[in-house]
Amino acid sequence: MKSALAVAVAALTLAGCSTTSKTASFDAPRVTSPGTTPIRPGLQHAFCQDQVADMFGAKRQNATTGNRVVAADGGTTIEVAVDKGNEGVRSFKCRLDGNNRLVDVVATSEAL
C-alpha cells in the first residue's frame, strides 16, 4: 500500500515532465511520467517488465511478462508477475493507450 501511494505521489509530481532515457541493459525507453512517451510494440514487454520490477523494488530478471493483449480501441495490457523470493509473488497489469503511451501500472494481487 505504501509503494502504491509513493507511485501515485511520484506520478503527480512528475506529471509535467516528459523526459526519456535509454537503459544500458536493453533498448526500452524509460518514462518519468505516465502518458508521455510512445512505446514501440516490440519494446512493450521489456518496458513493462522494467517498470514493474522498479516499482516493486525487484531485479528485472525476477519479473516475467505474459501475453500482450490488444483491445478493440488499440489499448494494450501486459500482465507482469514479480517474484521477490521470501517476500512473495505479486501480479501487475501494465496498461498502454491506443497511441502506445503508458497509462498506468496496476497491482492485481498482494504478495502471496
Per domain, the residue ranges of the chain are 2-107
Residue 83: is its pLDDT beyond 80?
yes
* pLDDT in the model for residue 99: 92
- Rounded to whole angstroms, the Cα distance separating 23 from 44 reads 14
Question: What grid cell was written down for 74?
Answer: 488499440
Higher-pLDDT residue of 27, 60? 60
User: What b/e sequence results for 66-105 when a residue is b if at least 16 CB atoms lie within 10 Å of its CB, and e otherwise?
Assistant: eebeeeeeebbbbbbbbbbeeeeebbbbbbbbeebebbeb
Find cell 536493453 and name the residue.
26
**Using an 8 Å Cβ cutoff, are 100 and 41 in contact?**
yes
One-letter amino acid of 40: R
Higher-pLDDT residue of 18, 51? 51
Q: Is the pTM of this model over 0.85?
A: no
pLDDT in tens, 28-73: 555 445 556 899 999 999 999 999 999 888 999 999 999 999 999 9
